[in-house]
Amino acid sequence: MNFEYFLAKRIIGSKAYKSSVSAPIIKIGITAIAIGIVVMMIAIATGIGLQQKIRDKVVAFNGHITISNFDNNNSQESVVPIALDQEFYPEFTSVPGINHMQGVATKFGVIRTATDFEGIVLKGVGKDYNWQYFTEFLVDGRLPDYTKTRNEDVLMSEVLASKLGFKVGDKLNTYFIKDDTNKRPNVITYTVVGIYNSGFQQFDATYVIGDIRHIQRLNKWDDNQIGNFELFVDDFDQVGAIGMEVYKNTPPTLNTQTIIDKFYSIFEWIKIFDNNIYAIIGVMILVAGINMITALLVLILERTQMIGILKALGSNNWSIRKVFLFNASYLIAVGLFWGNLIGLGLLFAQKYYKLFPLDPSVYYVNEAPVYINLNYILALNIGTFVLCMVMLLVPSVIITKISPVKAIRFE
């Protein structure tokens, strides 16, 4: 074992090796490994990053699971209320994995200015609302506070504020149509206290966040009536299973819908990212492996005389094969080192400096998000190393076919 390692080290460090015809091939093999790791790392980091970012933005506006009245017929506006006084509220103790519940309601309205108007959905929230996601989205002003008396503070998206010419501190007149369309609509004058930008234009162009007590008053509901419940879970991968358990543990008059069912097309689209990641990893490992196979074959052919001498001195085929496999493992390790250095450098640069923007109308985000995790980085490196070594076992078999007599005469 020590002999083979020593000999491999001598081959790698020898001047003949560095100046031989195999040197360019070796460098190409190392470069292929490095480029492969960089591409795979970026593919995984951006693919998972996009999935999580888009998923979190959809969840921010809807929760992981929604409990609503069947009579609403999946309407975007809360029509038939639900009593807030439920056995499962405020904590759904009968189903594990749920970390938060909140009561909300929605109502269509129209914001009118002197020169323009825009249809919106007022999302009414109360003192139980979790502002975690909107803290990240906030770009100006502050988040509203609905824990005390009813107020007219609202949170507006940057898209709507820019379109209608509003800024923090401005007043806006919002009109709500009554059931009897012959009557004048209700008008509420709100104050913009904060502006958010989630990057998800489908929601940003629609939602204004306000006090749920205004919707209760407009709909003539009691103080303990809401439009629907939004539930948040600990593990997104368990949303489907938890959704089924929630459905079993709610009254038959209530409907349960997971975020995946509600926005099926979006989640089917981001699933495609997984296929892209697998395809890129497969192609990159194949390319890197082929380049390393070529490099090993060239190195074996260049060292044919040495192989013949070793065989003549009594070395068996496997011990000689190990010499070249040690050599190849060193070259793979060098490629992995540079690949990780460059790849992680690019990922951290994107994470902190936002070098590569994206079109939010297509990708729902303003810049390419990256997901950096030690587990997948280690798995990627170990997997690449092992697969490349396994692929190199095949060309190393050529050593067993070399005759000592012919090899010593080989030039």
pTM for this entry = 0.81
pLDDT confidence of residue 324: 79
- Higher confidence at residue 341 or residue 18? 341
Give yes or no for a contact between 282 and 97, defined as CB atoms under 8 angstroms apart: no
> Which residue, among 33, 41, 36, 24, has the nearest Cα to 332 in the 3D structure?
33
pLDDT confidence of residue 308: 74
pLDDT confidence of residue 16: 43
Q: What is the pLDDT of residues 135-173, one digit of tens each?
A: 999 999 999 999 999 999 999 999 999 999 999 999 999
Sign of the alpha-carbon torsion through 58, 59, 62, 66? positive
d(CA 229, CA 67): 5
With a cut of 70, say whether residue 243 has pLDDT above it.
yes
pLDDT confidence of residue 300: 76
Count of alpha carbons within 13 angstroms of residue 382, beta-carbon side: 6
With a cut of 70, say whether residue 17 has pLDDT above it.
no
Residues 6+ apart with CB under 8 A from 138: 194, 195, 196
Sign of the alpha-carbon torsion through 211, 213, 214, 218? positive
d(CA 200, CA 154): 19
- Higher confidence at residue 304 or residue 376? 376
What does pLDDT average to over the chain? 86
Q: What is the pLDDT of residues 99-121, one digit of tens each?
A: 999 999 999 999 998 888 899 99
pLDDT confidence of residue 292: 85
φ, ψ of residue 170 to 5 degrees: the values are: -75, 155
Give CA separation, 375 vs 44, 45, 279, 280, 371, in Å.
12, 12, 20, 19, 11
pLDDT confidence of residue 329: 87
pLDDT confidence of residue 5: 52
With a cut of 90, say whether residue 9 has pLDDT above it.
no
Considering just the CA atoms, what is the radius of gyration of the chain in Å?
32
pLDDT confidence of residue 8: 52
pLDDT confidence of residue 73: 57
Q: What is the pLDDT of residues 346-375, one digit of tens each?
A: 999 999 988 888 887 777 788 889 999 999
- When pLDDT is cut at 50, 70 and 90, the band that residue 15 belongs to is very low
Q: What is the pLDDT of residues 229-240, one digit of tens each?
A: 999 999 999 999
